[in-house]
Amino acid sequence: MKFFRQEVDSAVDALLMQQVILYPTDTVWGLGCDAEVTRAVDQVYKLKNRPAEKACIVLVADEQMFARYAEIVPPNLPELLARQERPTTYVVPGSRQLAPNLLAPDGSIGLRVVQQDEFCRLVIRRLGHGLVSTSANISGEPTPAVFKEVNPELVRKVDYVVNWRQDDETRSAPSRVVRVLPDGGLEVLRD
């Protein structure tokens, strides 16, 4: 447990210094930074060689943090979260609290409440801000489900590599992505 806490502390320290981390998300391995720091978000796009108009997801700790980053919160969010069977990202209009370069061209953002992964939840709570989450790959490469699949070039270039779950062989898929419609309904963008 001491090692776990040390890794949470080290990840948060790097994020507070506006650095980019390589970390195990609640789904796959990801690149992350503080969702409110424009410069750090720019660095994530640069590392991935990803066009800036292709928005990233933001992980949040709870419904209150979701509301902080969503211009419009689905009125049925508690029910949606209770019913979801796997990690689900909700695309909603983004708020001004986020780094502007995180928003999609239409002003939307993908937000995911981390419910199962204790490491991510603790990092987000300690940071006090949303955590950018984008797959730890260079654009066009396969998404790394486990650490050994992460491109060594990214491992060398990020500011901090989280040492938690590097030997884990459990394979996870990227999250389900749904757009929240004005009537509260959902449009599946990725299942």
Structure tokens at 171: 């394979």
> How many Å apart are CA 113 and CA 65, to the nearest integer?
9
| Contact between 29 and 23 (Cβ < 8 Å) | yes
Amino acid at 115: Q
For position 184, what pLDDT does the model report? 77
Each residue's pLDDT tens digit, 69-89: 999 899 889 999 999 989 999
Each residue's pLDDT tens digit, 117-164: 999 999 999 999 999 999 999 999 999 999 999 999 999 999 999 999
Percentage of the chain modeled with pLDDT above 70: 100
| Contact between 3 and 162 (Cβ < 8 Å) | no
| Contact between 26 and 132 (Cβ < 8 Å) | no
For position 171, what pLDDT does the model report? 81
| Contact between 69 and 94 (Cβ < 8 Å) | yes
User: Is residue 14's pLDDT more than 80?
Assistant: yes
Each residue's pLDDT tens digit, 51-70: 877 889 999 999 999 999 99
Structure tokens at 41: 């978000």
For position 127, what pLDDT does the model report? 98
- Average pLDDT, integer, range 8-15: 98
Phi, psi of 92 (to 5 degrees): -140, 165
| Contact between 163 and 21 (Cβ < 8 Å) | no
Domains and CATH numbers, the chain: 2-190 (3.90.870.10)
Percentage of the chain modeled with pLDDT above 90: 84
Please give the radius of gyration of the chain, using alpha carbons only, rounded to the nearest integer. Answer: 15
> How many Å apart are CA 157 and CA 153, to the nearest integer?
6
> How many Å apart are CA 132 and CA 182, to the nearest integer?
25
Query: What are the angstrom distances between the C-alpha of 146 and each of 28, 30, 83, 189?
Result: 7, 10, 27, 24
Q: Which of 32-36, 139-143, 171-175 is most confident?
A: 32-36
Is the entire prediction scored with pTM above 0.85?
yes
User: Is residue 90's pLDDT more than 90?
Assistant: yes
- Average pLDDT, integer, range 7-31: 97
Torsion (CA) 140, 146, 149, 152 in degrees, nearest 10? 100
Structure tokens at 102: 């995180």
